[in-house]
Structures are given as structure tokens and as C-alpha cells.
Structure 1
Amino acid sequence: MATNDNQIAGYYQKLLKRNAGEPEFHQAVAEVLDSLQIVLQKDPHYNDYGLIERLCEPERQIIFRVPWVADNGDVRVNRGFRVQFNSALGPYKGGLRFHPSVNLGIIKFLGFEQIFKNSLTGLPIGGGKGGSDFDPKGKSDAEIMRFCQSFMTELHRHIGEYRDVPAGDIGVGGREIGYLFGQYRRLTNEHESGVLTGKGLTWGGSLVRTEATGYGCVYITNKMMVANGDSLEGAKVIVSGSGNVAIYAIEKAQELGATVVGFSDSSGWVETPNGVDVELLKEIKEVRRGRVNEYVEEATGAIFHEDGSIWDLKADVALPCATQNEIDGEHAQKLVENGVKYVAEGANMPSTAEAIEVYRKNHIHFLPGKAANAGGVATSALEMQQNASRDSWSFEYTDDRLKRIMENIFRHTSATAAEYDHEGDYVIGANIAGFKKVADAMLAQGVI
């Protein structure tokens, strides 16, 4: 069955009505459908058997109540989510996000992106995502433990190493994964280590998992730069955020010879013209759980800005590693004016559609999150392999696997863009490359 732009537009309008009030999900789908217009013109069989409509509809959406008791004895109630989006390639795989902004639309957007991201890794994992509108900030360890135990009391019946394997995301680090895994063990009476990734090293975790998303983003960025006649050696880099992804992107970028000239958190941003003291930043963010203004109090030459934007800095490379839609069209234009030539998304969908259009018009080389931040889920899948074989790999071996996966993602993305006559457009390349692998599996498995 042939397709055309009107069919895609008509389907998108149907999706908007069916998923009202979910702008982030709409945005993620619109970007992919824009690329699929190109692939469907060349390969119209991908529109057979309702494939596009099935791809955009989650296989399962789970919403549940999460009651927990605060330290003062008050009973609080949050909402939990798990969207199991597509399992054509393997068990659902994707993180859990604990943040007050979480709602069903956010989780659906993240799960939809995860389908293509996981496909690009080349590993046998499907796409899913989950989380809660619980805010870990300001909570005691005991409160976070009680919340995680309540959350897992419901979630455990829906996950498993051959069914759905969650990991961490914003607000869910090693502490939260530990509490979640402990409750899973308690409820199932099984040490099924493959049911969660991001675990502690002494109980089934993988070396490099902590660093993976940040490192992977930098590995693929450097590969993109080399392909275009540059490298990170001597480059000036802006990294938004100061969480796990940002910290390890900063660390790896500086190891490869770049100078990171700024980072941020929700309280403001720090200008670091001489580079970042990574160990100090880790101490403040990972040990003290402090804010970036504390870094300025102890680092030489750093300047804290409460106003303005980190995107006002002059640089060669921008790595947005904070959250979705942090770069709009105006910010993107600032990047152009300040000399940025390369943008790679360490976060999920941090650039709006308007920002991406600015990148294209100004010939900025841009890697979307489904390619650039795939290192985290890739290493999660490597953790699953180690768990399945009851094995543990060295840091060097795992890091090398990660680097090779990220470089392969770039090669596949770049080659696919060229195959479909859009050489250098890594958004189109990533979308089509991720789509085709999932689509082929869905067609082979029938209408399910």
C-alpha cells in the first residue's frame, strides 16, 4: 500500500485527538513521522498492516497509586507509571524517572524515543519507560526507601529479565535502584539480578554503567567531529546540567583534550573558562548533593550566573544534558551566533523542533538524543549480558564495548542519511535506521 504526505498528516491528526494533552509525546512522534515520510516514499511496504499506527501505540500502559509514609507520619500519595511501548526486538528496556514533572505524556514520549534508541544500539532490547511524580529532593533516605518499596510493590508484577528491565533516569540513581531491587527480592523470593540495571557492583552491577551515558555522548560526538574534519582536541564545550550524564560528559570531553567552559543546574549556571575541576564537581553533586553555586565558592576562576543562559557562552560544541526542550529556537540562534558547530543531545529531546530547524538552516552538525545518549541503555544491555552469564567484565573491556557501540551508531546513522539522499542529516539518519530494524521485526511477527 503506497503512502503520501497526506496519509502521514491524517494519521498525526488522529494521534493528537487520541492522545490529547500530551505535547511532549506529540513532539516526539512528529519528528519521527517527518523522517518516515522520506522512507515510506522509497519503501512503501512499511505502511502495510497498520505498521505506523501500531508503532505509535504502546503495547501496554500501566498507571498505579503509590502510597507512602513521610517521616512525620503523614501519608502521601503519588502516581506511578510504566509504559511498555514495543517489544518486537526484545524485552522492554528503559529507565524510571522520579520528578514532579512526570505524567503519562512525558513517559510516553520517553518510551517512544527509547524504541529507536534501543534499536540503534544493535542489541536485542525493546522500548519502555516509567517513573513517578515523586520528588526525591528534600526527602530523607528513609522516605525515599519507603517510597521505592511502595512503588516496587506494584511494579514487580509487570517486570522481569525476559519481560521488562527498568533502569535509572532523572531522580533515580544507585540509592533508589538499591531500594527498588531489595523490595523486588523481598516480594519474589528470587535474586533475579537481570530485572534491574544500574545495580551496585557487588550485587550484579556493571562497571562503566555510571559513566556510560556521558561517556557515550562524547564518544559519538568526537566521531561526528572527526567525520567532518575536526575533533574534541582543543575544542571549547558547553555542557548543560550537572547530574550523572553531564558530569561524565565533562570528564570524558576533557580527557579527550577539550575545555568545558560551562555547566549548570536548575539554580543557575557556572562559567568555567579554564575548564572544570571534575573531582570537585563530583564531590558537590554526588556526595554533598549540593548546588552548582557551591562549586564557585571552592574553584578558581569560576563564575556563577543566576540569570541569562548557559547558551550565551562562546564554544565549538554544545552538549545539552539536562532535560527535554531546554534549547528553543532563540537559544539555538544564540549557539549559532556564538560559533557552535556541533550539538549532541546527552538528554532526551532537549532541543525543540524550532531549535532543530535553526541547526539545519545554519549547517550545525546535530546528533539527536536517540543516537547521542544511547550509551546508557547500551551499557545496561551489557549489564544484562553479564547477569545472564553470571559474569563480570573489566572497566576497560566494557568501556571499549561502549565506544564501539557508539561509533557504530554514528556510522549507521550517517550511512542511512546518505542512503535516503539526506547526507549529513543525522536526525533523519537516526530515525530511519532505528525505525527500519523495529519495523522489519514487526512485519515478520505479524499483526500483534
Structure 2
Amino acid sequence: MRRFRDRVDAGRQLAQRLEHLRGEDLVVLGLPRGGVPVAFEVAGALQAPLDVIVVRKLGLPFQPELAMGAIGEGGFRVVDTGVVTRARITSEEWRTVERHERGELEKRVARFRRGRQRLDLHGRVAVIVDDGIATGSTARVACDIARQLGAAKVVLAAPVAPIETARDLTGVDEFVCVDTPARFGSVGQYYDDFSPTSDEEVIVLLDAAERRLRGVGRVSMGLDCDLEVEIPAGRVTLQGHLHLPDEPRGVVVFAHGSGSSRHSPRNRFVASALYQGGLGTLLLDLLTPVEERDRACVFDVELLADRLVAATRWLQARPDMSLARVGYFGASTGAAAALTAAAELGQGVAAVVSRGGRPDLAWEALADVSAPTLLIVGSRDPAVLDLNRQSQARLRCPNRLMVVQGATHLFEEPGTLAEVAILATDWFGEHLLTAEAPGVQEAAR
């Protein structure tokens, strides 16, 4: 039954069916949220820009699941006049529903694009991508809106759709699909992994696609290194997960905070964003399972830093690391360990990022850190923000303090972790993937 491992695999298979469009003036448009990871792969394969096309269904006031129309960016709308007439919807009822949905649409657009302008579709080929099509209603609306936004040709593409939907699609110039089964249950049945796509992932993928077009980020489709590793560190062996692109030029080692591990969803999310930005990652457990239960070990910054130094030396000794520079990403107490280790290793560490960190716990080492350091703190984490400001004043290396508005200590608010991932990718890209870095001390306004 299943045809695709995940949305990445689905996107790569779909891209092969769209090769005939290579070289045309394309814009690939993912339908959020699940269509964006598929569209990301399609855009990369076709070397085309990626954007989202955001639509909102307008449901009947007394039966919201039944659509009487839909809206998109730019004030465009599609009206199902038959439903409106039969339901006797008044102008005021329509305006009330549209006003509410327009507000939701604008919030989502603002969150996804983070200030970037919508890509111009005038005279171009719009390739609208979803992770699968069932009834096709949302996809049809997206195609109509792309046409209204000026697209000269509209191509709808999806990994899977029922054969009857494929036959009945109207309003598109071309429909491309990997599989059109006659017996169709649900889109998720055709995936081994159909876990939900978050707003955070959409934001990071759009940012990564923009970098890719600028020639910054992962472009190779060759073999990489993605494996669990064991790292000797004195009397213990540390567990880690190493993910390296082909011929890595920069690798970021993660120093987790208290109560966290290499399986931390937040750090794995940031690691994925860094990898899309062309960086390798080493997610690392600095403590053994027994030590994790001992609070004294959790806050032993010297112990954590010693383990981090050992892991760094192990990493740098690998043959595939001969051209790579190393950076540290530290969270909470892990940030203190990262700064302490950076002070010890000197030029062996090229950059440090602290996310909601406690650099004050590395107070004595701060003045000896030479690696450019980025401190990221949430605006709603006042105590830690104050400690970071005090610590920044002690740093002598190039540094910056960035405050993520609306974020608390764990960056759980919508869009805030994506902001962390993008800031970290920018910082490491600048200091690990380029020859030189500026040496200016700044503070975020």
C-alpha cells in the first residue's frame, strides 16, 4: 500500500515527474503545512524558487465544514455561488465569515514569510504542490487564486490522488501525480511517516529554500554521513548522533541543557535547520544515563565542558573533517559548557550560539572566549535575559545578543523556535562556512 517513506521521499519522486518543466520560469508553491516539505524537494530539484500559497476555506455560518467559497492573499476570493444561493447567505453573513478568515489568513502568512514579500507570479508557471489530494477542493481553490495572481500556466502536482479526482480536476493546465490508485482511503495510508508538519518547519524550509537559491546551503544530493556514534571521554563513552553533508565545511556540536539529551525535539529541530543550511551536526549526550539522575552532574559545568572538549577532539580527528570548522550550540547549562570549552580550545572553535543559555555559569571563562558568540534569549524570560546582558558585557570576542520577541525560556510559542533556528543558521553560516568573520560587538535593538 505505502509508496513513500516520508514527505522528503515523496517530493523527490514527484520532482522526477516534473523534470520536463526544468528551465521554465517557475515558482513552486507549497500548500501549508504538509505540502511545503514536498514542495521544498521539488523546488530544489528544479532549481526554482519556493513560496507558499495560503488559502482559507469560507464555511457556512451554520455548517462551517461545508465551504461556500475560499480566500487567498491579495484580497482574492472564490465564491461557490450555488452553495451561497441554496443556503440563502446574506451579504452581511458573508462579510462576517470572510473578515474572520481573512484575519487568520494574514496571521499565517505573516508567520510563514517573516516579512518576505510574496513571489510575483505574473507571466510565470505556478507549480502548486501538496502532500496528497483527496477531494481536491483546496487544491482547486489554490489553482484559481494562482491564476488570479497572474500565473500564465498552473500546474498542480501531488505524490498521490484518487484516480476519480485526477479525472475530474478542472481549472489546471496540467496535473502531475506519482500514483493515482483506484481504491483510495486517505493520503496518510501512502506514507510510512505522515507525522504532522509544524509551522516551525514551514518557516525554516522557506528560509532554507531562499538560501539555496543564493548558493548558500545544502545542494548536493550525494551520499552523506548519518549515524549513531560512540565517543570515548575518559572513563565513560558518550552517545551521539552525527549527520554530515558531503565534504563538510562546518559542523555544529550540540551541548544540551539540564534534563535534555540528543533526542531533544527542540535541538533536533534546530539541527535539521542547520543541515539544510549546509552544516553538519553532532547531537551529543554529555552525561551517562546514571549521571543524568544526579543533579550535581547536571550543573557541573567543568565536567560538561571537559566532555565537550573530548568530543570535539574526537570529531576533528575524523578524516572527513579535514576541511571543516567546528561550532557549538548550547542550551541552558549546556551554553556555559560550550563557552568554557571554547575558551579552552581557542581557535579550535569557530563560533558559539547560546539558546536560552546560562553564560553566567561560565563567568570566569567568558573573557577568554575568542569564538564569535551569539546569545539568543526570549523577551519573556527576563531573569535569563538580564544574566545574558551581564555576560555579554564580559565577553571580549565578537558577539551579539538577539532577543526573540514573545518567547519564553523554552521557545515554545509559535514561530519562536524557527526564529532561533534561522538566527543560528545565519550565525554559523557566516562564521563556519565563510573565510572570515566581522569583529563588531552589537546588541539587538
TM-score range, shorter chain: 0.3 to 0.5
TM-score under structure 2 normalisation? 0.37
Q: TM-score, normalised by structure 1?
A: 0.37
Which structure shows the higher helix fraction?
A: 1
User: Which one scores higher on RCO, CA 8 angstroms, separation ≥ 6?
Assistant: 1
Larger radius of gyration: 2
Q: Which has the higher strand share?
A: 2
